[in-house]
Each structure stands twice: as structure tokens, then as C-alpha cells.
Structure 1
Amino acid sequence: MSKFLFIIQGEGRGHLTQAISLAQLLRANDHEVVAGLVGIGKGRQLPSFFYDSFPADIHSFYSPHLIMGKRGISFSKTITHHLFRIPLYVKSLQAIHAHVQHYQPDVIVNFYDVLGGLYALTYRPAVPIVAVGHHYLFLRNDFIFPAQRSLDHWLLKINTRLTAVRAQKLLALSFYPTAIPTHHRIVTVPPLLRGAVKALTPTQEPFFLVYVTYAAMSKTVIEWHLQHPEVNLHCFWDQPDHRFDETLTFHKVDGAKFLEMMARCTALVTTAGFESVCEAMYLGKPALMVPAHYEQACNALDAQRAGAGIAAEEFDLSLLLDYLPNHVPAQDHFQEWCAQATPLFLAHLEEVVLERRVLEAISSE
């Protein structure tokens, strides 16, 4: 049995659900997850589902993140927002080190947190580090990026490299297996899907499921709906439930309800967050992916190549209507890829543990 300590970037739900899934996988195979250290922004709180589902001690700390502007990542806002919080982040590094000293893990797994990388740089722990996240695909030489937006591209790659400082392996979550490694540290692995997703039995009912991420998008949805009232839409937003008319309903955000309706819908409209697209592919739901920022634009193009659906620059459900008759289902291949998650993650993580123990044995002689 080996002990694992997780450092998790807590912005959004993606890295949190990945950490829950990997913790459950490790525990089911006789390993121990001793703690989850979660980086959050000042004034933010961890969602209740993480407390309910993560099977180990949880400690939060303040951590920086990229700030989005109207046209993508804002370099100036990111710098000014975090500049005056440096003393706070120094305390966070000290707290991370104290937890590592206390729990004495065999491996640290970093789910894309910048301070996880800076901790490795400043404290240089003897414990090996493994980085997990779909962003590490962006460091492969053969990854195809969206055109233009060079500043966003540069900032995203810098941020990704910072999270992986001194990591022994970079486990890059991917929509599909890649045939040829392009870097000795980067290994392509399947997504870490929640058990709740795998337990669903998908059906197909005549409605589109839309995730409304910002207020202006709801106006766009209504405008399109008024021109196409025959299309049944169910939308999730951060406002109270609202039935606009017989074929347009807004639901307050509810993770369990959204997942249940995803299993029943005809297709999904999403901003191309990695987890949502993976869940749609697993359930066999075509997706219209309208990215809200550069990272999601990278996801959308990559997912389109994997057969998840269609990427678009603007919200236009007519594109989805035109696409659906030509959609080639990728569900079977994707589920086969996801089924390899347990043996691949165990192989890579146990290899890191074994290498450490061999080195310790040699040094003790």
C-alpha cells in the first residue's frame, strides 16, 4: 500500500471531480489517499459535493489563477490581481509544506495547481510529484491549437509549465489515445470520469440541454428560441427556475439534475469544459461547443477531432441542427478508452512509487 497526497486546483469543478475519481480508484486498489490540499481564490468556498465525496482529509489554501477578460486571458488583470497577494501565497506554500511533512506521502499528485508547482520549485521535496490534467496535452509537439491569439497561447503554456515544475510524470488526460510520445515525461491517459456518470443508462428525448455560463448567453438563447419555438430547450443557469414557455425552461444549477438530464437529452450545448465534453461523449450525446476562453477553444477543436460534436465561435443552435444528421457516434471507442483508466493510472503511479523505493534502498546501502 502506498500513500498519496493530492494538491488540487479548486477553480471550477473539473479538477475536483478528477481528484475524487482518482482517490476512489486508488482506494479500490488498496492504496491510501491521505489528504487533499485545495487551492482556491480569496473569498471563494469549496463546493459541498467535494466535502461529501472526497475520501480523505481536506485542507484549503489560497492559490493564484488566470484572470479572464472579455477577449480571453487578461495578462494585466492577472498580474495586478495577484501582485498584492504574494504574502498570502507565501503562507500557502508554507502550509503545503507543513501538510507534506505531517502526512509523509509516497507520492504527491498535483491537479494543475500553480502553487503545487511553485512548492516543488522552492521546497524541492524528496517526495516524487506526478502532475494530472488535460492541459499537459498542450505541451505535446503535435497538439493543434486554434489560430492566432498568440498571447493567450503563451500564457496558457507558461501556466501549464509552472504547475508541472519538477514533476516526474505528466499524466495528460485526453479524449483519445495518442500513438507516439513526443516528450519523455508526458503520458496520455484516459479521462477520470465520475462513477455517477458511468452508472447512468442514456436514453434520447427530444430536447437540447444548454449550460448557460453568463447572463448575456441567456438573452442569446431566448432570441434563438423565439425564431425556433418548435425546438425544446432545457437550460441551466445560476438564477431561480423559470419556465419561459412550453418549449424553453431555465433550471437553477444543480449538478445531479444536470447529469440526469444529460443522460436523456438529444444533444448538449456547452462551453467546452473538458469534463462536460467527456461526460457527453461517454453518454453518447453530440455537443455544440462554444468556448468562452482560449483553453476551452483548445478543448473544443480537440474534441471535435475526437468526434464529440462541432466547435463554434458563437452560440447558434442552427449549427447543431445541421450537424446532427451527419454525426458519427464516438461513444463505443470513447468508452473503451475510458475503461483503460484504472490499469493505466495504477501502472504509472505505482512505477513512480517503485522508483522511489529503489532509490531509497540504494542510498541506504
Structure 2
Amino acid sequence: MKFLFIIQGEGRGHFTQALVMKEMIGRHGDEVVACLVGKSPSRQLPDYFLTKMNVPLLPFDSPNFLPTAQNKRPDLLKSTLSNLIHFPGFVSNMMFIRKKIKEYKPDIVINFYELLAGLTYLLFSPSVPMVCIGHQYMFLHHKFRFPQKSAIALFSLRFFTRLTSFGSVRKLALSFYPMADDIRRSISVVPPLLRSDVLNRQPVAGEYIHGYVLNSGYIEDIKKWQQKHPEEKLEFFWDKKDAEETVNITPNLTLHRINDKKFLYYMAGCKAYSTTAGFESVCEAVYMQKPVLMVPAHIEQECNAWDAMKIGAGVISNDFDLDKLLAIIPEYTPNTAFRRWVSHAESLIYAEFREVYENSNCTCEAKTSYPL
């Protein structure tokens, strides 16, 4: 089988999932022919992704969230207005996506939550089957339970998620735990996609707190906390594109530019982990048996954090109050069932691909044999 990836380039989670998926596809003797990446001018493709993907990488401008002046939570109104202004350019990028699908002739398109992929299938109906993958598709499952949040915000999240998957033949909902498939909505519940470096690494109980923040404004909160607790060692990662590889703020507070190997090294050796509640890194922390402080930056991450609480991942906070994280360390109990669930990821996901491929070939043969 030949696969074409379309990736939403906000944060590190989708990039990591794509790399794991590429390795999985290679182990089965199949091929990723190209990777289309939706990105914004404020983000750059991480170095680890550029060096490891090793297929044609074709970026295009895509709708994105714009942070507030404090560079923390996204400004939804500003983001909406900005994306509407740039919508004519997004239409040309949908045509670009359609052109590349025709050019590369994949058997399956895999969409990692990119909005323009769904809109391309809405407006242009490419003949190649599209499979969507991401934790967000759990939000469309009829049995998923949401936190008590704004009804408008939850509706918007589900509506956006539906748009990303318009025209898809299957939605693979990455989940913290097993759940029955939602057949009517074409949702298959599958385990998280974790890197082999995570699966094979032996965690140890360290003496420092590890962390990751997408928007750099949160760093000020972390600095203030560390000033009150100078004895606590903090090793945090960010993706500020003009930052040095390593910045020593104080003797016990170090900021690292995002690097996949270094990130996992510090994850494996920490005593606890703090993050803005992205699905991928929370999964890595739970797998490595580290308690997590989750500080959601928007409604999607609020749902991620709520869902992670169901498996005992850690604690939710409105800010980076690391006192809350330190408080749960003595009583934290690792979730061993999560590790068993993750071990089934490849077999379950690849079974879905084979079924989509076989169904697509049957459909094509039927159309060839019995033309209208």
C-alpha cells in the first residue's frame, strides 16, 4: 500500500504520531510517498521531524490559533478573524492538496487532524479514501463524556473535528483506554501511537520536574514559581524558534528547545511532568509512570486533561502551580493497564488500514465491472 500523510502542524503531537506511523508502515513493507504539512508563519517544523521523515515534505499555509498578547491561551476571536481574512489563500491550498493526491496516487490518505484536508474532501471529493487519526475523534464518539464546560465551546470543538474528517471512510480515535467502536459514525477506538524510544526506554525516579509548554508566555509563570522554590530543579522544553538550544534561567531552571531524544531522556529520568495537556506527551508520561500536572490552554486540551484523569494520569490546574504536582507524587499509582493497551496499537491500526484498502479495491472493481 502507498500512503500520503496530511499533518496539522500545530504542536509536536501530530508530528510524533506521523513518525511512528511511518515506521509502522515500513515494517509492513508499505510506503509513505509524501507528507503535506499545514503550518502557520509563527511555527517552524521541528528538526527531529525534518531529519526523520525522509520523504518529500510539502508545507502549506493552514488555519491556526493565534496566542494572546501574553502568549498563553489562543485568542479565539482574533484567530477566527485572521483565518477568515486568509480564506482565499486557503482555497488555493486545498487545490494544492487535491493536486498532490492526484500526483502521488496513494492508496490511502492519512489525515492527522488537518482542517484543509477535510475541506478538500468536502469541496473536491478526491477518489482516494481518507483515514483520519487523532485523539480528537473520541470527541465524536457517542459514549464519550465531556467535562462541564461551555456548551458553545464544546459544540465548536466537535464541529471543527467533523470538518477535519469530512469525506473520510474511517476515523481512528486514539484513546487512553479501550472502548467499543462507534460503527454508525465510522469511529474505531485504537491505542495511542507511541515511539519505540518510549516503549523501549526504562524510566527511573529522578530528582527534577520535567515540562513542556507550547506557548512561551507560560514560562513567566514557571519562573515566578521557581523563585519561590529555588531548591527545585526544573528541566522544561519549549518550541520558541529563535531560542538557543539551552537557556539557563537560574541554576535550577533550564529551558531546552524542543528535541525529541533529549525530551525523552528528561522524561525518563524525572520525578514528575508538567504540560499544557497535549495528548501525546501525557501518554508518554503515563507510559513511563510519571505523575502529570496538566494546564490546558484551550478547550481541546481541557477535554484531553479530563479524559486523562479517568486513568489516573495526575492533576489538572489553571496555571503552572507545581505545588499541586509535588503534592500528588507520594500517592501516585502507575497505570499498568495503559501499557498493555498501548501494546496492541500496531495490530489494531494496521487491521483498519487493510480493511479500508480491501474495501476500496472492491469498490473500484465494482465500478469497473458495472459502469453506470
Is the TM value for this pair above 0.5?
yes
| Cα separation, partners in 2 of 1:39 and 1:336, compared to 1, 3 Å | same
Partner SS state of residue 306, structure 1: coil
Please say if residues 140 and 182 of structure 1, whose CA atoms lie closer than 8 Å, have aligned partners that are also in contact: no
Please say if residues 11 and 214 of structure 2, whose CA atoms lie closer than 8 Å, have aligned partners that are also in contact: no
Please say if residues 226 and 253 of structure 2, whose CA atoms lie closer than 8 Å, have aligned partners that are also in contact: no
Equivalent residue in structure 2 for 1:280, among 260, 285, 288: 285
Match of 2:170 in 1: 169
| Cα separation, partners in 2 of 1:52 and 1:341, compared to 1, 3 Å | same
Please say if residues 291 and 328 of structure 2, whose CA atoms lie closer than 8 Å, have aligned partners that are also in contact: no
Partner SS state of residue 276, structure 1: helix
Equivalent residue in structure 2 for 1:333, among 337, 352, 356: 337
> Are 2:156 and 1:155 equivalent residues in the alignment?
yes
> Are 2:323 and 1:322 equivalent residues in the alignment?
no
| Cα separation, partners in 2 of 1:23 and 1:213, compared to 1, 3 Å | closer
- How far did 1:202 drift? 1.1
Match of 1:360 in 2: 364
Match of 2:59 in 1: 60
Identity %: 39
Unaligned 5+ segments in structure 1 are: none
- How far did 1:200 drift? 1.8
Partner SS state of residue 165, structure 1: coil
Counterparts of 1:265 and 1:44, CA distance in 2? 28
Report the RMSD for the aligned CA atoms in angstroms.
2.1
- How far did 1:224 drift? 2.8
Partner SS state of residue 159, structure 2: helix
Give the letter aligned to residue 23 of structure 2: Q
Instruction: Between 225-234 and 11-20, report the one with greater CA deviation.
Output: 225-234
Counterparts of 2:180 and 2:365, CA distance in 1? 35
Instruction: Between 333-342 and 229-238, report the one with greater CA deviation.
Output: 229-238
Give the letter aligned to residue 316 of structure 2: A
Residues matched between the structures, number: 362
| Cα separation, partners in 2 of 1:210 and 1:126, compared to 1, 3 Å | closer
Match of 1:76 in 2: 77
Please say if residues 68 and 293 of structure 1, whose CA atoms lie closer than 8 Å, have aligned partners that are also in contact: no
Partner SS state of residue 171, structure 1: strand
> Are 2:101 and 1:85 equivalent residues in the alignment?
no
Counterparts of 2:162 and 2:120, CA distance in 1? 13
For each residue in 1:306-355, what CA deviation from the matched residue of structure 2 results, as whole angstroms up to 9, or x when unmatched?
Answer: 1211112232222122212221211x222211111111111001100000
For each residue in 1:111-152, what CA deviation from the matched residue of structure 2 results, as whole angstroms up to 9, or x when unmatched?
Answer: 111110011011111111111111001112222223232332
Pairs within 5 Å for 1:1-365: 2-42=1-41, 44-69=43-68, 74-179=75-180, 181=182, 183-237=184-238, 238=240, 239-240=243-244, 241-243=246-248, 245-246=250-251, 248-255=252-259, 256-330=261-335, 332-365=336-369
Please say if residues 72 and 152 of structure 1, whose CA atoms lie closer than 8 Å, have aligned partners that are also in contact: no
TM-score normalised by the chain length of structure 2: 0.90
Partner SS state of residue 263, structure 1: helix
Please say if residues 140 and 183 of structure 1, whose CA atoms lie closer than 8 Å, have aligned partners that are also in contact: no
Give the letter aligned to residue 195 of structure 1: S
